[in-house]
Amino acid sequence: MFNPNPTLQSIALHDGHTCWVIDDAFTRPEQLRQFAREQRAAFAPAPHNAYPGVELLMPPEFSDRLAEFFAQHVRRRLGGRRTLHMYSRLSMVTKQPHELLPRQWLCHRDNQGLPADQCIAASVLYLFDDPALGGTAFYRPRKSPQETAQLVHDCGQMDAATFSARYGIAPGYMLDGNDWFEKTGSVPARYNRLIFYDGSLFHTGELATPQRYLNDPDTGRLTVNGFFTCSRAAG
């Protein structure tokens, strides 16, 4: 299923971080899109996270292969020593800007609650044909860690009007940054492109065409997202 001879490209981000990009990642990517078609009715919102759409957990057999690929080609490059836990899911963005909660107006990171001796990596496989549906953008906080932490806390607790008034952030998908976050780089989407990055970096999809985000594996923004919790490599 995976390209047996992948070529890794590096895209430099801020503070020495790197996003690793593999094009033509799967030998038969259409099988994944066909699986999404067959399972379309099983996609559902996931209230426990801030993803602005619907999701479907991938079968263990697929996640195991993705974990093997990650361990072989990427884990050490992102500071991991051993994979402790991972999972993957199919995802489709479906929410319109007026439907978003405050925590969906912002970029986010995936390492909340991890102990200091662990790290998390994330991956995105783009399974749509039109790059205009959006790649992935990365951001650096403009404020202090304490101020940023308070913002992140409040976006999950306040109603939209209160949050917007307090922080000066308008409803809608985040694109070019704001007073709180500087956009430092992005990776364009491409069909069958797989990217890996440090999940502790603030990031979000570049979602500039919301009118086209449909619950349809053939025309929507279909991705496979992977999350890898690892012990940290020494040094």
pLDDT tens-digit profile of 181-207? 999 999 999 999 999 999 999 999 999
Across residues 19-29, what is the average pLDDT?
96
Q: What pLDDT score does 51 carry?
A: 92
Q: What pLDDT score does 139 carry?
A: 98
Question: How many Å apart are CA 232 and CA 81, to the nearest integer?
Answer: 5
Q: What pLDDT score does 46 carry?
A: 84
Across residues 116-132, what is the average pLDDT?
96
What tokens were used for 66? 């993705």
Would you say residue 113 has pLDDT above 90? no
Across residues 28-54, what is the average pLDDT?
93
Would you say residue 29 has pLDDT above 70? yes
Across residues 170-181, what is the average pLDDT?
94
Give the CATH fold of the 8-232 domain: Jelly Rolls (2.60.120)
The b/e string for 41-77 (b: 16+ C-beta within 10 A; e otherwise) is eebeeeeeebbbbbbbebeeebbeebbebbbebbbee
pLDDT tens-digit profile of 42-95? 999 987 788 999 999 999 999 999 999 999 999 999 999 999 999 999 999 999
pTM of the entire predicted model: 0.95
What value does the mean pLDDT of the chain take?
95
Q: What pLDDT score does 1 carry?
A: 84
What tokens were used for 212? 């086209």
Confidence band of 235 (pLDDT split at 50, 70, 90): low
Would you say residue 162 has pLDDT above 80? yes
